[in-house]
Structure 1
Amino acid sequence: MPCSRSLVLCGSVAETVAYDLVLEVALKVQHFQQRHLLLHGEWKWLLEEFAIYYGVSDSYTKLRYLSYVMDVATPTADCPTLVHDLLYPVVMKGRTKSTLSHQENRILGEVEDQIEQILALAFENYKALDESLASGILDVFQPAKGCAAPALQPAVKLYTLLHDILSPEAQTKLCKHFQVAAKKRSKRHLADTDKYVNNTGEGNLLDHVTMSTAYQKMRTLCLNISNEVSTDIEIYNQNILPSFVDLPNLSSSIYSVELCNRIREFLIACPPSGPSQHVAELVTATADFQRDLVSWNINPIKGGVDAKELFHLYIVVWIQDRRLALLETCKLDKVKWSGVRTEHSTTPFVDEMYDRLKETLNDYEVIISRWPEYSFALENAFADVEKPIVEALDRQYSDVLAPLKENLAPKKFGFKYVQKLTKRTVCPYAVPDEVGILLNSLKRMLDILGPKIETQFKSWGSCIPNARNQVPGECLSEVTVMLRAKFKNYLQAIVEKLVENTRLQNATKMKKILQDSKESVGESNVRNRMQPLKEQLTSTMNHLHAIFESHVFIAICRGYWDRIGQDVLKFLENRKENKAWYKGSTIAVSVLDDTFASQMQQLLGNALQEKDIEPPRSMMEVRSMLCKDAQIHKNTHVLLLKNDNCKYVVIVVTIL
């Protein structure tokens, strides 16, 4: 043993140098390298015996071996596990006895720096660790997975060995590693959208396909960032990390702020012109991300994603732009299809406008389903549009409405008005087809088109917990009231015109017929006198049926019926003391009721309801008046029966 004795004579340094030489040979022989870190077999035994025989401390053997391990260290499970096993007795010995030699302390200081580097590498890439790769880290960026990497737990264990984990400094340092990891991954995600925000001001120049692609990229970004936070929650729930490392809150505070800034920059560079599909998808993704953070109990983040704040100004502008566009369509030069009627006997303009309003409702569904308070602004815009729709109809049909508006204006019996009456022609008024289209359109707006929209707004409004200054649907209800009044006025004007037609000739003038009925002998004479009026009523109702849809037709006919009844009532009220006209009036009333009821039944068939042919109020009052003398109220009945063809048959029975 001459060589051995000479090493001993050289002191401890010589012993460690000799051990280093043997260790180096053993490492070379056993092909020591990344992912092949353990010594085994004869060489392991030889090193242990050499150290014992020559008095090389256990701390030195572990530290020297550790120095070689750190030269090839990777952030894989085997490496931090081995480092921890080698370092644990050394650290424990140094902490308890402080007996490490100067040489051992030097090596420990060197490897500690290397260990800190490999730990930082592991923590700052904790979602990119891969045991199957030699380097332990993915070369290609991939979506996060919910399972913690195998190297993470031993890395945390090793970090705890090296640091006083209860000290604020050690805790802050570890948290910063994970924050760096979040920033790195956030930067990689944001890189896919960099090109859209770096060309500020050119967004308006992008074609539709490119713009759609850009918004899809932003939507994907939201989903990816959401996946990052979700993955952090899964990793955190595996209880691998120290309790002070609140990984979801640490990472989301970075992800949310970065995402918010990117969305804001993107919207400035590529401003959305409206809630189109790709824009709506981004709004949805942004709102869903914000909602998910809340549902995951993530702490509020200053400067983080606030979907409503990000899109608020754009939504306000969208609603205003849509309002202006719809108002532009209502202009006189934009109104089309004058005189043309749809299958509903209405003007296509109304259906077209309400189709646009319905389309707008569909477009804003994604916005208002999340923030119902925007329904008020949209409702105001709709109300502003519905009024011009009616005004546009008035302008479109102004020529045919002119005669009706004469009846709507309050009459001032001055010299000019009397002069106008004397010059009036005796031509009967025939309701133009255009008036039919107009009233049918107004009725469709009142009964079908308007209520559908109003119902939708009320449904949205029911989701608003504390609506302060406005009741959902209130603005549209005001428009409905205005529209109903206009419809009623036009209907009354038409009725007045039709009643005026009956007064153009003595043969059809109700007052004249009733006056002559006093002199008539027998029921047949009265009926003969009523025949011209009956024919005129029948002809008028046939014409009305040809141009008005059923509900409007019924309303006009009943108004017509009621208005003639008012004339009869007035005639009788002026002759209360003279019952000579009552018998003839009773027959005339029966003819009127039968004419209106039977003709409406003939024209509408099964579409007619029983209430539609019940005598109107004025006729009931006439009956009541006549009843006092002839008991007509009790003895005159309007029967509505069905025949074999399932059609109603009107029978007016008068018992004198």
Structure 2
Amino acid sequence: MVDGFTPASGLAAPALAPAVQIYTLLNDILSPEAQLKLLKFFQRLRMICAETDELVRTSNEGAQKDFLTSYQRMKSLILNIRNEILTDIQILNQNVLPSCIDLPNISSCIYSVNLCNRLSTFLVVRPPPSLSPLVAELIIATADFQQDLSLWNISPIKGEVDAKELFDAHIFLWILDKHRHLLGQCKLDKAKWSGVRTEYGTTHFVDYMHTELKGMLDEFEVIISRWPIYSSPLENVIADVEKAIIEALDRHYDDVLSPLKDNLTNKTLGLKYVQKLSRQSISTYSVPNELGILLNSMKRTLDVLWPHIESQLMSRSSCIRDGYATGEHLNDVSALLRTKLRTYRLAIVEKLYENTRVCNKTKLKNIIQRSKAEKSVVQSRMKPLEVLLREMIDHLHTVVDPTVFVELCREFWDRLGQDVLHILEDKKEEYKGLRVAVSNLDDIFASEMQRLRRNSLKERDLSPPGSMEEVHSMLKDVNVQAPLGVKMWELGLSIDKDFAEYPKYKLEAQIMKMIVNTIREGDT
């Protein structure tokens, strides 16, 4: 016999086999009493646990002073018990003991129940304040011990080690603390604001907060990799924090968002809104640099930062049938951010569109109405508008991210296309003048974007947006519907106009008048 505790070697001692043979000769090995007495020789529980006895005493006044040492010692206890059971398995495989004694199952029951009680008491006496590396190591050791028992085909019993159950309450407290901490970081007085742009033209606050979110997921990786059910509360935390980030951005950039508020609430220019604009002082709107930082930050969040967080969280759940983190809350936040960004862009576009209506010489409808369908006249009258548009596009390129720049340009292009559609609704307008104006608008936006962004543009970026496509389609239909190939509308001729100066088309004009008069008589 050796005094004191020595780690299990995994092999039976040379003297064990003859000692067991002598014991079986002196005792009836088939009797429960003899088996129990023999097993006691293999139990080293008291020696193994002796070093951790003081750690589970509730009266220990220095419980919180030696946090580092105590968690290391509890981890060592788990590893020692694991080695003891593994040694028992090795002894059983060497056929040293009688076949009626299943040493691993018997000893592991005693070890596991005792270890579970000891861990439970330890976590009450010395609760882990956070998911620190030491605590993570203890969780890993406990979970691995539980898994090893299953792999070794040790029969489960009531009261044995259950790592998830032991740490469950603490895990939820850690998640709650992290939730409060991250929300606190989004308060204006605590947020990491900086007047200097990052290399992406964004605010440091956005990158800092998403680094914090990524750090949280890295920290809890040891948890969700073993128990994916905790990915669900973590998803809720991420969704709440992302909403807080959006709200913090709105509050911080309120000064540059205030001029857009009328446009945010007036998506269509009603009579009251037009009257309000007419009473305001005549001045053009220029997108401030701070607003560019806001748009860039929101765009980077949507395209880069948020997808990384989402994929990191969902990577575990995607491998599990009916994963716990459904991603529903993340999708809601993504939709909210996308909608808010688009709303801001459209409000900016409306402001830029208002710039074209400040002076009569830049109003598209005035340009077309006074041009008398002459191409040279239309092009000449388009010059002031062209200069204004190119200046606004150039300025946009200096304040916003390239992708935001393209989106704003195309939405601005589309907004002017809507103006053209309204003009097309007036049957008295000159279609030839419209064609020239539309062609000029297409050229202005396409050429400016291509000049500023060069090869980074895709083919779809330079194609006309939805409203302009509709304009082209309507003008094409008008061209096809001209009677007998005579493009009456292209010549700018109305039904009620005197055709005496156009003798070549006198017959066609008379026929059209007869048709219209017949329709009018039918209506009356």
Q: What TM-score, normalized by structure 2, do the two folds share?
A: 0.87
1:196 counterpart letter in structure 2? L
The equivalent residue for 1:90 is none
The equivalent residue for 1:510 is 364
Q: Take 1:571 and 1:388, find their aligned partners in 2: how far apart are those partners?
A: 44
The answer to whether the 8 A contact 2:414-2:467 is kept is: yes
The equivalent residue for 2:298 is 442
Q: Take 1:520 and 1:318, find their aligned partners in 2: how far apart are those partners?
A: 73
Pick from 230, 234, 245: which aligns with 1:378?
Answer: 234
| Bigger CA radius of gyration | 1
Cα deviation for residue 271 of structure 1 reads 1.5
The answer to whether the 8 A contact 1:196-1:266 is kept is: yes
Encode CA deviations 1:7-35: one digit per residue, 9 max, x unaligned.
xxxxxxxxxxxxxxxxxxxxxxxxxxxxx
The answer to whether the 8 A contact 2:373-2:431 is kept is: no
Encode CA deviations 1:119-164: one digit per residue, 9 max, x unaligned.
xxxxxxxxxxxxxxxxxx2234211011111221112111221222
The equivalent residue for 2:470 is 621
The equivalent residue for 1:491 is 345
Q: Take 2:435 and 2:78, find their aligned partners in 1: how far apart are those partners?
A: 81
1:573 counterpart letter in structure 2? E
The answer to whether the 8 A contact 1:203-1:269 is kept is: no
Pick from 387, 412, 416: which aligns with 1:564?
Answer: 416
The equivalent residue for 2:169 is 313
The answer to whether the 8 A contact 2:373-2:432 is kept is: no
How many percent identity over aligned positions?
Answer: 56
The equivalent residue for 1:88 is none
3-state SS of the aligned residue for 2:353? helix
Q: Take 1:510 and 1:314, find their aligned partners in 2: how far apart are those partners?
A: 66
Pick from 70, 77, 102: which aligns with 1:221?
Answer: 77
1:508 counterpart letter in structure 2? T
1:194–1:462: structure 2 CA closer, same or farther, 3 Å change rule? same
2:364 counterpart letter in structure 1? M
Cα deviation for residue 204 of structure 1 reads 7.5
The equivalent residue for 2:13 is 149
1:460 counterpart letter in structure 2? R
The equivalent residue for 1:128 is none
1:191 aligns with 2:28: no
The equivalent residue for 2:451 is 602
3-state SS of the aligned residue for 1:472? coil
1:212 counterpart letter in structure 2? L
Pick from 445, 469, 479: which aligns with 2:333?
Answer: 479
Cα deviation for residue 338 of structure 1 reads 4.9
1:314 counterpart letter in structure 2? H
Cα deviation for residue 199 of structure 1 reads 6.3
1:203–1:443: structure 2 CA closer, same or farther, 3 Å change rule? farther
The answer to whether the 8 A contact 1:203-1:270 is kept is: no
1:393 aligns with 2:245: no
The answer to whether the 8 A contact 1:383-1:476 is kept is: yes
Q: Take 1:282 and 1:168, find their aligned partners in 2: how far apart are those partners?
A: 37
Cα deviation for residue 194 of structure 1 reads 3.5
1:394–1:170: structure 2 CA closer, same or farther, 3 Å change rule? same
The answer to whether the 8 A contact 2:295-2:341 is kept is: yes
1:355 aligns with 2:204: no
Encode CA deviations 1:275-313: one digit per residue, 9 max, x unaligned.
221111111110000000000011113222110011000
Equivalences for 1:395-414 in 2 at 5 Å? 395-410=251-266
Equivalences for 1:71-150 in 2 at 5 Å? 137-150=1-14
| Aligned length, in residue pairs | 481
Pick from 198, 208, 214: which aligns with 1:342?
Answer: 198
1:199–1:497: structure 2 CA closer, same or farther, 3 Å change rule? same
Q: Take 2:206 and 2:143, find their aligned partners in 1: how far apart are those partners?
A: 36
The answer to whether the 8 A contact 1:215-1:279 is kept is: yes
3-state SS of the aligned residue for 2:259? helix
Q: Take 2:300 and 2:68, find their aligned partners in 1: how far apart are those partners?
A: 38
1:221–1:471: structure 2 CA closer, same or farther, 3 Å change rule? closer
Cα deviation for residue 391 of structure 1 reads 0.4
1:411–1:454: structure 2 CA closer, same or farther, 3 Å change rule? closer
The equivalent residue for 1:256 is 112
2:205 counterpart letter in structure 1? F
Q: Which has the higher contact order (CA 8 A, sep 6+)?
A: 2
Encode CA deviations 1:539-575: one digit per residue, 9 max, x unaligned.
1111111111011111100000000011011111222
Encode CA deviations 1:452-481: one digit per residue, 9 max, x unaligned.
1112222222244345xx662111111111
3-state SS of the aligned residue for 1:446? helix
The equivalent residue for 1:41 is none
3-state SS of the aligned residue for 2:160? coil
Cα deviation for residue 618 of structure 1 reads 0.8
The answer to whether the 8 A contact 1:338-1:396 is kept is: no
Q: Take 1:349 and 1:213, find their aligned partners in 2: how far apart are those partners?
A: 38
Equivalences for 1:153-168 in 2 at 5 Å? 153-168=17-32
Q: Take 1:428 and 1:199, find their aligned partners in 2: how far apart are those partners?
A: 74
Unaligned runs of 5+ in 1: 1-136, 633-656
Q: How much is the aligned-residue C-alpha RMSD, in angstroms?
A: 2.3
Cα deviation for residue 200 of structure 1 reads 5.2
Q: Take 1:203 and 1:611, find their aligned partners in 2: how far apart are those partners?
A: 70
Q: Take 1:160 and 1:196, find their aligned partners in 2: how far apart are those partners?
A: 40
Q: Take 2:389 and 2:290, find their aligned partners in 1: how far apart are those partners?
A: 21
Cα deviation for residue 230 of structure 1 reads 0.7
1:540 counterpart letter in structure 2? M
The equivalent residue for 1:8 is none
Q: Take 1:595 and 1:204, find their aligned partners in 2: how far apart are those partners?
A: 75
Unaligned runs of 5+ in 2: 482-524
1:425–1:187: structure 2 CA closer, same or farther, 3 Å change rule? farther
1:233 aligns with 2:97: no
Q: Take 1:241 and 1:234, find their aligned partners in 2: how far apart are those partners?
A: 11
Cα deviation for residue 412 of structure 1 reads 10
Q: Take 1:596 and 1:438, find their aligned partners in 2: how far apart are those partners?
A: 24
Q: Take 1:202 and 1:352, find their aligned partners in 2: how far apart are those partners?
A: 40
The equivalent residue for 2:406 is 554
Bigger shift: residues 190-199 or 228-237: 190-199
1:574–1:418: structure 2 CA closer, same or farther, 3 Å change rule? closer
Q: Take 2:18 and 2:364, find their aligned partners in 1: how far apart are those partners?
A: 107
1:603 counterpart letter in structure 2? L
3-state SS of the aligned residue for 2:310? helix
3-state SS of the aligned residue for 2:189? helix
Q: Take 1:323 and 1:553, find their aligned partners in 2: how far apart are those partners?
A: 35
The equivalent residue for 1:11 is none
The answer to whether the 8 A contact 2:293-2:399 is kept is: yes
Q: Take 2:69 and 2:388, find their aligned partners in 1: how far apart are those partners?
A: 68
The equivalent residue for 1:89 is none
1:472 counterpart letter in structure 2? T
Q: Take 1:419 and 1:585, find their aligned partners in 2: how far apart are those partners?
A: 27
1:621 counterpart letter in structure 2? E
Cα deviation for residue 417 of structure 1 reads 6.0
